[in-house]
Amino acid sequence: MITQDQLDDIFARGGLLERSIPHYEKRDEQLMMASDCAVCFNEDRIGVIEAGTGIGKSFAYLAVALLESLSSPQGRTVVATSNVALQQQLINKDLPALEKAMGVDVPYALLLGRGRYVCMSKILNAVNGERMQAGLFKDDESDAERVYSWFRSTKTGIVEELDYRLLSSSFVQAVRSDKDSCLKQRCPYFQKCFYYQAIQRAKKSRLVVTNHALLFIDSSVRAELDTGFDEDIVLPLFNRLIIDECHNIDKSATEFFSIELGKEELNDVFRKLFQVTYTVNGRQTLANIITGFRDDVTVEDARAFYTDMTLFCGDCARFLSGLVSAADRRKYSTQCLIDDTETDFDSVQRPRAEALLVVLDRIVGMMGHFLSLPVSEEMDIYKRMAGTLLERLSGWQHLLRMFLDHGSHDELVFYYSYAKNSSDVTMVLSPISVGAMLRANIFDKLDSVICTSATIKAGKDFSYFLRQVGLEGRDDLVTGFYASPFDYSRNAMLLYPAAGDGMKFNIAVRQSYADYLADMLVSVIDRSEGSALVLFTSMEMLNLVHERISGRIRQELLVQKKGSSTEQLRSRFREDVSSVLLGLRTFWEGIDVPGEALKVLVITQLPYVHVEDPVKRARSVRIAREGGNPFMQIDVPEMLISLKQGLGRLIRSASDRGVAIIADGRTARYIELIRACIPPYYVPESENLTVASFPDRVEDFLYS
């Protein structure tokens, strides 16, 4: 049982944190949030808590988790976030500081998904030249040398520690840990394996920090095995969960529970079966090893397996590329629903899909036959490796069958995804809603769950979030809303075009809209003397505006482009306090630039979800069919949450002072909803909010 006296000792004026941490400022909201978290843990309830910038929400929930570990030594708390930077902050900064202040010693650990770690066997084999034939060093020697230098000194093996310029290199992708090729105990480096060492540390810890993806993997495996959270599965057993950055979990869970079939997936499985070599009775492919499991597997059987896999992968790649026509691509740039395509799936594509399924059924049957009998301990690891590939093939079976029966599944979304400059097409099967799965697999099975973020409310309440994650109607909820302690009314001004002023964004007038934005930005940046972050929702509009302002401003202009490093842009923006950064969605959250480097934040258009988003479109159709209003029930709430994330970049400390501009002329229509869910910015009288007045207002607010 966590008591209020314990929390007061930690967070109150003159408490443990104030005595231990230099410049710590007591915040009533932080203590109240910690009290809410304690109620959830003490009474086995579910918490939904929004904590604004500056509350210090991680200290609030971590202190409660540490106290819980002391009062219930047999329990374990998992903290799941979506951001690597936050995970490392919790482990390397917040938890050590709290332990020191509280005078406690609670074991904690960081455990991420396998792919976040470098594989010791792969990198050593690559460096020693044993895998040259796989092309690991092709045109990439310098990257390999730099990665190997890091590998020799890293304590964790987490690849995100690498220089951001290396993360996308082919060498790093080749040496990441991989379930499909892991030898486990048979690996000569198993005892030193970064991933398995992280698992062992997690099992010995009372508090484990992880990411959303691993949480979903763990919960789905438990659901499949029909087991609770009282056993070690992917994560060690645990009974309490804190989900930070919870505004992302609907999207993250939807992506996780989707099934994809594309050229990349085909190539990956084929390569792992026929190109990756192992040293067991000589150099063999995994396909050769598994066809040798049974005495009654003939040479003809093995050859038929190879032939069918080759046939399926080639025919499937050609089938996929023909699913979307040139006309479809002109109408839908990167995604479209199965029923949107020019060529009708049922009348044209069905025979080809059925033929592919026949071959795939044969492949799955043969692999099941190869893996059906017990094998020696030496060969068991290869059987398990092949089993993971068989699971992926079975997933493709399910996807093709569902696509062939797509008209009968209202709870699923069937669509195609593709790049603008590639003929490759990926078939995707997604759930239309993940709320029921999250509720059944996570919320109903754990003693308590706390969901927290700086942006949960969409408007005046939590109803949108509760509906999306399956918590609507629960009677065991603890909800809390704690506004930022920063003085927005004095230090932050919000500008937006008054009704009838400015220009409303519309795809049909994007050239004129880019002219409008460019003229406004040049004037505002001149008056602010730079220090501006300009947020866009599309690369096209960013490029149009960049063309129009390039050469018209005297400050350094930083521009996010395809393939550019967001971390490098962040660093340069922080270092050059007068620079101007044009950024896309990755800069709407996670960037923290306190001080003089950020004085003006411009939202170029209201961040509505792209009209092509297939899951959103399917959800909208269902709501309309049920008599609801998709625009107000989906579009507006999602826009508000994204807008809050973007606006949250401006004020990051008590001494920050800045101006936020929402340039979109549609803003006045929704300003009451917007102001209901954001901090209390100073907003001039709306009738005087003309775009032409923005430069003077910015200069007066910042420098008068």
Tell whether 100 and 191 lie within a shared domain.
no
Tell whether 416 and 448 lie within a shared domain.
no
Tell whether 403 and 442 lie within a shared domain.
no
**Averaged over 128-140, what is the pLDDT?**
48
Tokens at 183, concatenated: 């030898």
pLDDT score of 276: 63
Of the candidates 673, 696, 686, the one whose C-alpha atom is nearest the C-alpha of residue 498 is 686
Distance (Å, rounded) from C-alpha 270 to C-alpha 287? 10
Tell whether 438 and 426 lie within a shared domain.
no
pLDDT tier at 281, thresholds 50, 70, 90: low
Sheet holding 557-559, edge to edge: 492-495, 658-662, 600-603, 532-535, 580-583, 557-559
Tell whether 563 and 614 lie within a shared domain.
yes
**Averaged over 351-357, what is the pLDDT?**
96
253 HSE (CA, 13 A, CB side): 26
pLDDT tens, position by position, 610-666: 777 899 999 998 999 999 999 999 999 999 999 999 999 999 988 999 999 999 999
pLDDT score of 576: 92
Please give the full DSSP string across 171-204, using - where no structure is assigned. HHHHHB--GGG--GGGSTTGGG-HHHHHHHHHHT
Tell whether 557 and 667 lie within a shared domain.
yes
What is the C-alpha end-to-end distance of the chain, expressed in Å?
A: 53
Tell whether 531 and 657 lie within a shared domain.
yes
Q: Which of 431, 449, 467 is the last residue of a domain?
A: 431
Q: Do the Cβ atoms of 470 and 435 come closer than 8 Å?
A: yes
CA distances from 535 to 120, 388, 538, 547, 644 (A): 40, 42, 9, 16, 13
pLDDT score of 132: 47
pLDDT tier at 278, thresholds 50, 70, 90: low
Tell whether 232 and 135 lie within a shared domain.
no
Distance (Å, rounded) from C-alpha 149 to C-alpha 151? 5
Distance (Å, rounded) from C-alpha 165 to C-alpha 596? 27
pLDDT tens, position by position, 22-74: 888 888 999 999 999 999 999 999 999 999 999 999 999 999 999 999 998 88
Tell whether 467 and 509 lie within a shared domain.
no
Tell whether 118 and 180 lie within a shared domain.
yes
| Domain span including residue 120 | 114-196
pLDDT tens, position by position, 530-563: 999 999 999 999 999 999 999 999 999 999 987 6
Tell whether 410 and 421 lie within a shared domain.
yes
Number of structural domains in the chain: 4
CATH code (residue 595): 3.40.50.300
Tell whether 267 and 406 lie within a shared domain.
yes
Residue written as tokens 């040139």?
326
Would you give the distance in Å from CA 156 to the centre of its chain?
A: 21
Bridge partners for 426 per DSSP: 417
| Range from 86-100, 498-512, 524-538 carrying the lowest mean pLDDT | 498-512
